[in-house]
Structure 1
């Protein structure tokens, strides 16, 4: 029985919703506001916008172009560019696996806290409740020693939703889900911001966030922070956008889509900054302190500071809490779906298995790893180490290697520029190649050097060296080793696809005509080609 042709987004709007849903995640809500506040306030928006235009959107266009041109998952797409580059794709798949297993548990916390908000069940000490009562955190980091059922059951529910959406496919699952989730997220967060702006002290919080410190523009660290925020918030560097773009139709406005997705993500970050700092301004006013005393980010902001704010509200605390934590859950689920889809797509291309079978086996294994590791007393320590090392030495490093290999070693930027410009409303020009070939790798390289220098000076968070060797360096290096090993395993389907590509390229040796590359969904596990179907006429 022949395989179905590669899935496609039903509409461009569906693709954009999915891309925006992937980009808008937990970091938009709990990371951007504090990064902006800590790096020049309102003045930070200038390097942030420059970073978006010179690194964020160019990288988005690169990933869109690779996925769309080669119509396959990251490992196969990179292999079609150059066989050794396949290892980068499998490295990014491993990165997605690591991120997925810990990202899901944070979403699960949000599920529980949505319910806790109704009765403010954290009591008078949200800090002690979160770490001691809810997570039951052990005294020191280590390997798994127990099980925390209050975290496990919402985690199982989160995985059930994600796997059902993925099993339904690109059009019936991911596209339909994001068309519901993203408008709902925007509505919930706008309501949250409106409520936050009515609080006493909201103006003080906004003043703290937006008052510009122009002297910060002379600080190189501020510019690095801006590029780092853009890089981590746009879902670039770990193959999500390569995968999503591979499901686009032949005629797709790549540059226009990148501009829409990039600015939509940044607009939501700005909205999040307004909501978060209006609430922090209220908290500072109520406590009789300055905003500087209460400003924080990450888990501490979401699960300690915001419950304190909710408990202090004279009216509407339950609604405020439900809006905030429901927003976290929705933003997290749309991002988690995109992360796991990278793994599903890669395994499908590698093995030729059907979607449902792949979701059950691979998605199920990913969920099982998440459920075994993180609803435990040591789960928070493991999460913290995974997150730090896979972000710094996974996403950022893989993005740097990808740009260097495709831009400097293989010199493929002109090819991708030509591909994107030929089908897009906004044509690329010299600025795109300069941004990707020069500015982006230099800045990413500096970020990597600066991070490594700090890392080798002292243990991250003072954790024991033995723990970091396993849950930190072991995970980051293990992802690289996984990519290299899997890329070295013989792959009949990939060889057959490469043969078809070479034959078609030979038909237009002067490069004056586009090469119609083979759809990987038509290559069986044995390397045979499935005859073309009528459905492919819709491309």
Structure 2
């Protein structure tokens, strides 16, 4: 018999969703995107993206999830039985994110320990790429196993299992109430300290120097919409799944606004700290901020250790705090990525939450060991690009079509408005989710697909094909397996 998954309170739901949205992307991805897309000018398309896509799409996901109170594939099957395959596609894709996210979590766990003694040495770049990851672009790197990385990743999997296999409120709900506020407090300390560093104003001036001419460039608008997709976990079936756990009196519109606002404040606040530190680095090294800015793992595992090396004794406090913040951000995000597939399996096969989570954690941990190899860093980049630029954006398009057109988003308006204490939905919302969103996201998706094809190496193209094959085959297996739950074809339609 499947477990009854329900949040103990509305606060648990909000904090869990904020935890899902606030992750590594807020700390390392957003500052880079903001800087490289016009600085202060980027706020115009950024705000438009939140209002035009972030909030409207989250309301759609929440509304349909709350309506059916079931897993994503079960709801999609209820809407149209021919669409069940699409219902499994997103939960499987999100679980693939969880598998490679565990590698980044493992790296950060190692750096959290190293930060107490600055164990990365005088050359953080060489330490990260060569000493720790033994990075290679050769396929033969898959045969070079890295025990230290593997152990760090397995520790993360044990923590994930310990939290997720418990009842929803006793596990994820309780942990979210602790980790999310703790993450915000730590970031306040880090940013507050960073703003006092000599040269901080240099970095902030670079960050907020508006390049208004870029507003006429379509790429800046694509970047803004892409950031909101990734930042708010749109199209990942996470929001849908979390909403299905809510109580009957939940005000989903107000909750959406609260979550989008908290996520936006966090990533913009984090940007202040990142560029204050880069300004300090610029002053100390004599290099321009533009030469120091980097995206991705390089900023977290190379730029920050470089700064900690010259901070003196302060680094022995700030370093562990920073890597703890990154670990918490990664942990709150990764906990959300197991929920959609877990709930889907519980729904279709009648397994308990505890058993399902245990199976998924074992499968995920074993699968993730491919990233504990010398080729793991390169492979992670390939899979991440495929999932984020191709699979998930495709998921947003599919959700818009299935939820807004086949299910008919109009059905949700009165239902959601009756519970809203803030704004009310109207024709503007229908126009956005049925027309504007699918068209614009389709353009961004095509752009991302073309970028992968045109700029990708032969290795990247090969592993993109392999990743796509794994995703499509796993999705097909879950779709074709016969249901063990007599309630699989009985999804309540509340509106």
Q: Give the shorter-chain TM-score range.
A: over 0.9
SS in 1 for 2:474: helix
- 1:384 is the counterpart of 2:381: yes
CA deviation vs aligned residue, 1:299-349 (integer Å, no higher than 9, x gap): 110111111111122440122211211111000001110101222111111
SS in 2 for 1:263: helix
- 1:145 is the counterpart of 2:143: yes
Instruction: Give the deviation of 1:394 after TM superposition.
Output: 1.1
Other-structure match for 1:124: 122
- 1:450 is the counterpart of 2:447: yes
- Asked if the contact 1:141/1:382 (under 8 Å) is kept, the reply is no
**Distance (Å, rounded) in 2 between the aligned partners of 1:4 and 1:249:** 18
1:423 maps to which of 394, 419, 426: 419
| TM-score normalised by L of structure 2 | 0.96
**Distance (Å, rounded) in 2 between the aligned partners of 1:9 and 1:139:** 45
1:498 maps to which of 486, 489, 492: 489
CA deviation vs aligned residue, 1:255-310 (integer Å, no higher than 9, x gap): 00100001100100101110100000000111112111111121110111111111
Instruction: Give the deviation of 1:143 after TM superposition.
Output: 6.3
**Higher alpha-carbon deviation: 250-259 or 3-12:** 3-12
- Report 1:202-221 matches (<5 A): 202-221=200-219
- Asked if the contact 2:68/2:491 (under 8 Å) is kept, the reply is no
**Higher alpha-carbon deviation: 16-25 or 148-157:** 148-157
- Asked if the contact 1:196/1:279 (under 8 Å) is kept, the reply is yes
Other-structure match for 2:410: 414
- Asked if the contact 1:63/1:242 (under 8 Å) is kept, the reply is yes
> How many residues of Structure 1 are paired with residues of Structure 2 in the alignment?
494
CA deviation vs aligned residue, 1:371-411 (integer Å, no higher than 9, x gap): x2111111111111110111111111111122123334x15
- Asked if the contact 1:393/1:476 (under 8 Å) is kept, the reply is no
- Asked if the contact 2:141/2:373 (under 8 Å) is kept, the reply is no
**Distance (Å, rounded) in 1 between the aligned partners of 2:378 and 2:196:** 37
Larger radius of gyration: 1
**Distance (Å, rounded) in 2 between the aligned partners of 1:147 and 1:374:** 9
**Distance (Å, rounded) in 2 between the aligned partners of 1:65 and 1:81:** 14
**Distance (Å, rounded) in 1 between the aligned partners of 2:48 and 2:313:** 41
**Higher alpha-carbon deviation: 308-317 or 245-254:** 308-317
Other-structure match for 1:136: 134
**Higher alpha-carbon deviation: 149-158 or 226-235:** 149-158
Q: Which runs of 5+ in 2 are unaligned?
A: none
RMSD value over aligned CA atoms? 1.7
1:480 maps to which of 472, 488, 493: 472
- Report 1:72-471 matches (<5 A): 72-141=70-139, 144-370=142-368, 372-408=369-405, 410=406, 412-425=408-421, 426-458=423-455, 460=456, 462-464=457-459, 468-469=461-462, 471=463
CA deviation vs aligned residue, 1:51-82 (integer Å, no higher than 9, x gap): 00110111111111121111111111211211
| TM-score normalised by L of structure 1 | 0.88
Other-structure match for 1:509: none
SS in 2 for 1:297: coil
Instruction: Give the deviation of 1:497 after TM superposition.
Output: 4.7
Q: Which runs of 5+ in 1 are unaligned?
A: 506-513, 516-539
CA deviation vs aligned residue, 1:16-60 (integer Å, no higher than 9, x gap): 000000000100000000100111101111110110011011111
SS in 1 for 2:6: coil
